Every structure is written in structure tokens, then in C-alpha cells.
Amino acid sequence: MPELPEVEVTRQSFAPAISGALIQDVKVGKPLRWPLGCAASVLVGQRVLAVRRRGKYLLLDLDGGVLLIHLGMSGSLRFTEQVAPMGAHDHFELVTNRGSLRLHDPRRFGAVVFSHTDDSGMAAKLLGKLGVEPLSDQFDPVRFALDLKKRRTAIKQVLLGGDLVVGVGNIYACEALYRAGIRPTARADRIGRLRAGRLHLAIREVLARAVQQGGSTLRDFSSANGESGHFQLEAAVYGRAGQACRVCATPIASLRQGQRSSFFCPKCQRN
């Protein structure tokens, strides 16, 4: 699933090109996770003012509302001046006077949803309970440490929950916990202030580095201009079960948490 860095890389790859564009046509394929929320014709004639990101959602600000795009499990966007006819797995396309933005989603867990504002309709439902943005100034280390004290579940599950801090998906949670020296199974309320501070810094560093490296391409992720990510090439623990830790040479271990694989170093990380 595309995580925060991949969504941010996608945003950066097409936002400058589409900002200011006039929507000339909208093409809709098979149904996605949620309905569009309006007739496709409502979008025609609107102008794209800007492209934002909130967690793993892309938000296209229009002069008549906001269009939310979620890439789901296997979705990707392409923005090109000339495109071929929509294929079997192409389910939404904005045709503008600057090019076409197309959603390709073989598993159809993604979504494109229109709302009049961020805090109305489906947008309010999808965005209203999201936690703080980890790369923003609002992600405060003191507040983070205090909030962890209220959670009695495993720290990995707290990070994936998205209501405390948004967008720290499986890959980057594993990597941040490794940098902070904390096992994925450590109970959140037992993490002291100093370790919480290290984790706060590790989350920001890992996500920023992943954006810089174009995200992670494990299967078929690529940006809206077709470029693959490279962060996976420098992952310290994710996907490296049985391989030597880059610091202590202990074999990297793995376990299942909430139907997700967690990777960690038994020596460098502790509960």
C-alpha cells in the first residue's frame, strides 16, 4: 500500500503541472471504494487551484469544492499530456487543458470523493479523525510522549492506528522503531520520555528521507511521472528477516502484528 512518503512524492510529481488547470472532461470506470459523491459533470468547468496532502489522502482544491483521492492498496496516478484510452484497471480520469490525471487501481480499494469543503460531507468523515501530520510543526515531541502514556497497546499498533500521528505506515514504522531502539511489541505507555523523544525524531527523519528518495517501490509504485522510489534499498530492517543487522550483525527477526509483518533487531531494539 502506498504510504505517506509515496503519496507525498506523487503529490509533488504532478501538483505544479495541474495547479491552475481547467477541468474539461471527467471519465469514470468501474466503482471504487466509495462513490464520487456528485455527478461527474459537476466537476467539468472547475479549476484546480492547488494540490495538498492530508495523511495518505491527496486533496485537489477546486474553485467549487475539494476532490479527495486515496490510492488504496494498489492505486497509482499518472499525469500526462497525451494518454491512451482507459484500460481495464483505469477507473477515474480528470481531463484538463494542461493534461490528464488518471487513477490506475487493479484492486479498486482506492477512491475519488468530492466534497464542498474539507469539513463537510464525506471529507469530514474521512479526514476528521486523522492524527497530527508527522512532518509538520504541530508534531510536538512533548505532546507525543504524553499521548503515548495513554496507550496500553504495542507501540507499532499505535503508530499504524493513525489517530495519534497520521501516515506512519508499516514500512516506516518498522524503520523508525529500529532507529529509536524500540521493539515493535513494546507497550506504548511504558516508553519513557527520552525514548519517546528518540522515536519522535526517528519518525520525522525516516519519513523525510523516504520522500527524498522518492518513496519505496516494493511492487509497482511510481510517481505521477512514472519514476520509481529507492528508499527500500537502504531499509535497515523492513523485508530483511534473517539478514544481518547493519549495526550488530544479529539476524533480523520478524513477527506478525495485526495481520502485518514487523521486522526488528533482537539486540538493538528492546521492549
The CATH code of the domain at 141-264 is 1.10.8.50
Res 223: pLDDT = 57
Cα–Cα distance between 18 and 52 in angstroms, integer? 12
- List pLDDT tens digits, range 33-67: 999 999 999 999 999 999 999 999 999 999 999 99
Indicate if the pLDDT at residue 130 is higher than 80. yes
- List pLDDT tens digits, range 225-266: 666 666 888 899 999 999 999 999 999 999 999 889 999 999
Which value, to the nearest 10 degrees, does the dihedral of the CA atoms of residues 39, 41, 45, 48 take?
40
- List pLDDT tens digits, range 186-206: 999 999 999 999 999 999 999
- List pLDDT tens digits, range 133-182: 999 999 999 999 999 999 999 999 999 999 999 999 999 999 999 999 99
Percent of the chain with pLDDT over 70: 94
CATH superfamily, domain at 4-127: MutM-like, N-terminal (3.20.190.10)
Computed over every residue of the chain, the mean pLDDT equals 92
Among 39, 15, 30, CA closest to 96: 15
Average pLDDT over residues 90-100: 95
**Residue 73 binned pLDDT confidence (cut-offs 50, 70, 90):** confident
Instruction: Quote the pTM value.
Output: 0.91
Domain ranges, ordered by start, for the chain: 4-127, 141-264
Which value, to the nearest 10 degrees, does the dihedral of the CA atoms of residues 78, 84, 89, 93 take?
60
Catalytic residue numbers read 2-3, 56, 260
Res 86: pLDDT = 87
Q: How many residues does the structure list for the chain?
A: 271
Q: Which phi and psi angles does 119 have, rounded to 5°?
A: -110, 35
